């Protein structure tokens, strides 16, 4: 039972390549949505178990946000490949995650594990919500129905997405929030940065 949160986290990582495969196949995109929902539920449930039963560990503290990053970045790069979002936005998100993950790994190696702050959790929730919105857009695009009225409503919804640049605007907000969360994270853990800076200066 104590290891269940970590097992769920590993499951989220395992599900990611299946999610990407289904997402890139138009006829399988409905399954991509199902897999994403399951992965999101594992994220919520492992956090719930960890909080309720205090199943906290340095490994879990490191692995859980890493699993989120693997799932989220895989989705975003797939969306870039499908022409739905801009590459520069994803590269900013990757840069932030690369720096934060590197710092988190260093902090863990010196016995100073860093917990996820509220801004970072908000960032992750916003990214997951944006992925859900884009998946909804893809689902609406690929729906085939014999009901003319329903089909007309779907077309109107898709046009609304495109006319009001919902995806671009949403991704812009996500990108800005992600960059801000990275700056805030570095500021909040500036003592770890000082420790790393002192180590680098000593080696030089």
| Euclidean distance between CA atoms 63 and 70, whole angstroms | 10
Q: In terms of C-beta distances under 8 Å and separation of at least 24 residues, what long-range contacts does 119-123 make, across chains too?
A: 119/180, 119/181, 119/184, 119/185, 120/65, 120/181, 120/184, 120/185, 122/177, 122/181, 123/174, 123/177, 123/178, 123/181
Question: pLDDT by residue (tens digit) across 126-184?
Answer: 999 999 999 988 887 766 544 555 556 666 666 666 655 888 889 999 999 999 998 98
Torsion of CA 188, 191, 193, 195, to 10 degrees: -170
| Euclidean distance between CA atoms 104 and 100, whole angstroms | 6
pLDDT for the residue 149:
52
- Please give the structure tokens belonging to residue 57: 């560990």
> Which among 184, 62, 39, 168 has a CA at the least distance from the CA of 123?
184
pLDDT for the residue 72:
93
- Of residues 52 and 106, which shows the higher confidence score? 106
- Of residues 92 and 197, which shows the higher confidence score? 92
- Please give the structure tokens belonging to residue 72: 């989220």
Per mean pLDDT, which range of 27-31, 53-57, 178-182, 194-198 is the poorest? 53-57
Question: pLDDT by residue (tens digit) across 57-116?
Answer: 666 667 888 888 899 999 999 999 988 899 999 999 999 989 888 887 777 777 776 666
Handedness of CA 169, 82, 94, 88 (dihedral sign): negative
- Whether the CB-CB separation of 126 and 173 falls below 8 Å is answered with yes
């Amino acid at each position: 039972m104590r290891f269940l949160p970590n097992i769920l986290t590993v499951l989220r990582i395992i599900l990611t390549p299946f999610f990407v495969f289904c997402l890139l196949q138009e006829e399988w995109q409905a399954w991509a949505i199902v897999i994403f929902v399951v992965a999101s539920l594992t994220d919520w449930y492992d956090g719930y178990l960890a909080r309720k039963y205090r199943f906290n560990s340095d490994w879990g503290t490191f692995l859980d946000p890493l699993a989120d990053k693997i799932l989220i970045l895989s989705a975003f790069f797939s969306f870039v490949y499908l022409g739905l979002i801009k590459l520069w936005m994803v590269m900013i998100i990757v840069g932030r995650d690369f720096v934060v993950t590197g710092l988190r790994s260093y902090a863990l190696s010196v016995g100073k594990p860093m917990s996820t702050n509220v801004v970072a959790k908000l960032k992750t929730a916003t990214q997951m919500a944006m992925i859900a919105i884009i998946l909804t857009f893809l689902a609406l695009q690929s729906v085939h129905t014999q009901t003319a009225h329903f089909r007309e409503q779907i077309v109107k919804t898709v046009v609304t997405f495109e006319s009001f640049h919902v995806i671009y605007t949403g991704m812009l907000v996500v990108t800005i929030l992600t960059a801000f969360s990275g700056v805030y994270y570095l500021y909040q853990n500036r003592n770890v940065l000082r420790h790393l800076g002192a180590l680098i200066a000593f080696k030089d």
